[in-house]
Amino acid sequence: MEIIPAIDIIDGKCVRLTQGDYAQKKVYNERPLEVARAFEDAGLIRLHLVDLDGAKAGKVKNWKVLETLAGKTSMIIDFGGGIKTEKDVDIVFNSGAALATVGSIAVKQEEELMRWFTVFGAEKFLLGADVKNEKIAIGGWLETTDIWIYDFIEKYTSNGVKQLFCTDVSKDGKLEGPATDLYRRIIEEFPDLHLIASGGVSSLDDLHALRDIGCKGAIVGKAIYEGRIRARDLRFEI
């Protein structure tokens, strides 16, 4: 199972939120490159980079951070937050991202996303699914749709999406363990999906449990920053 450390950016700084709440922000490092290099030095290969300013503004904002991390590390970076137009997608790829992370647009502007798949290739996108009671949540998790997670996955995998990360919004940032039962059900329904778990990971035991049910990856953020998991352990333990 691939471990994907997360860096969330506000004002160019490495932060973490709790359950997506900007009022519950904690700054961990003012130099994201230091953080990324520490992950790289620990042997980690991928990086999940989130532009929280961009997510709030509705357009990519912290592309310079992406450019710096892509240019000064060899990590495979997926970048999300504020990708709303084709111009945003261009900025993300031109700044060095290997994958563009998309979420709400897959619900609100399905036709536009499908067009991007034609232009850039569906395999260049990492689809994010925020879930509450097995229904897709959007708008910073404030709005729960009536879209069943399984229907959502079926639609997009049939259109070429290879990788999807799923976040149970009740778990994110709380260090109370991941939504293992939800992931198990998804994997049973879609055994060929490259499913990446996101949210709630608090220990190596959590990661072992995700690996054992068949997750292909896990995004880890707050547990590293809070010292629950050492980055150097991740390369060898999972």
Dihedrals phi, psi of 88, to nearest 5 degrees: -60, -40
**Residues 8, 168, 172, 206: which is the catalytic one?**
8
| Residue 138: DSSP 8-state | E
Q: Which pLDDT score is estimated for 140?
A: 58
- Both tokens assigned to 218: 């896990």
Question: What's the number of domains the chain is made of?
Answer: 1
Report pLDDT digits (tens) over 92-132. Answer: 999 999 999 999 899 999 999 999 999 999 999 999 999 99
- Residue 192 annotated as catalytic: no
- Give the whole-angstrom CA distance, residue 127 versus residue 166: 9
Instruction: Name the token pair of 65.
Output: 């951070």
Q: Quick check: 39 and 71 in contact, CB under 8 A?
A: no
pLDDT at 235: 76
pLDDT value, residue 179: 94
Dihedral sign for Cα 206, 223, 80, 34, please. negative
pLDDT at position 220 = 95
Cα 92 from chain centre? 15
Amino acid at the residue 211: R
Is 168 annotated as catalytic?
no
Q: Do 204 and 229 form a contact (C-beta atoms < 8 A)?
A: yes
d(CA 70, CA 163): 21
- pTM, two decimals, is 0.93
| Tokens describing residue 76 | 């495979």
Q: What is the pLDDT of residue 19?
A: 66
Q: Residue 236: CB partners within 8 Å, gap ≥ 6? A: 43
E strand or H helix that includes residue 80: strand 76-80
Instruction: Return the beta strands (E) in 60-189 as ranges.
Output: 76-80, 99-102, 125-132, 135-138, 143-148, 163-168
And the tokens for 199?
A: 């949210």
Residue 109's domain comprises 2-237
Three-state DSSP class for residue 56: helix
Q: Pick the catalytic residue: 53, 78, 88, 130? A: 130
pLDDT average per 10 residues of sequence, the chain (238 residues):
95 83 83 96 96 93 97 98 96 98 94 97 96 85 85 96 91 79 96 94 95 96 92 73
State the CATH number of the domain containing residue 205: 3.20.20.70
**Residue 179 neighbours by CB under 8 Å, 6+ apart:** 131, 166, 168, 170, 171, 197, 199, 200
